[in-house]
Chains A and B, each alone.
Chain A
């Protein structure tokens, strides 16, 4: 099954700036997820999004983060006032369909570097 695409592939920003990471589904999906992976560490769940609403969020997903689907298609993760420790790979994932509906398929990721 095709995954999702993500833009940008890399982003460098200054501490305190806002960034918006985008996830573009290849076909119509309802379930999306954001994960992050700090260099050398494990993949961590941030938030899940179902039918245009947040359905679950982790402790990491505090007020600094927000998600939305502004145009009914692209799915965005906004990080307000970035900190050095936000530097990580951010992955968008979507749930499979039919027999694969419990599987999550990952996009290529956005590498965020906060200076």
Chain B
């Protein structure tokens, strides 16, 4: 059974701190990893990682995939209260055509940024 595990499950830091969120996966026919931010309702897309060792960056957020270690990290620098959310990672299986690519999600990391 495919599995995605995130750690820590929750994290409380102060504004301005840097955080690192972890995601490990055991997925047959792994293709890519997605990171999402979930605030009140729907997950919103952050990054897609397919190649190992290539950092993706968007503002204060960055992420990298390590296919050897079957893991990924999401870094947030100079955190702000608006970064408070649940951060989800999800694995995409190898695309076999025809839409057979349901995502396997981790439980998420609940990040709280205190002012």
Contact = CB atoms under 8 A, between A and B. Distances in A.
A99 B45 CA distance: 14
B24 to A, nearest CB: 14
A58 interface: yes
A-B pairs with lowest CB-CB distance, top 9: A50-B99, A45-B102, A55-B99, A56-B100, A43-B105, A106-B42, A48-B99, A55-B98, A42-B107
A100 B47 CA distance: 10
Task: Give the interface SS of chain A, mostly helix, strand, loop or mixed.
Answer: strand
Contact of A109 (B34, B41, B104, B108): B41
Contacts of B90: 43
Interface residues of B, number: 26
A39 to B, nearest CB: 12
Interface of B: 31-32, 34, 36, 41-45, 48, 50, 88, 90, 92, 95, 98-108
Interface of A: 3, 30-33, 35, 41-51, 55-56, 58, 89, 91, 95, 100, 102-109
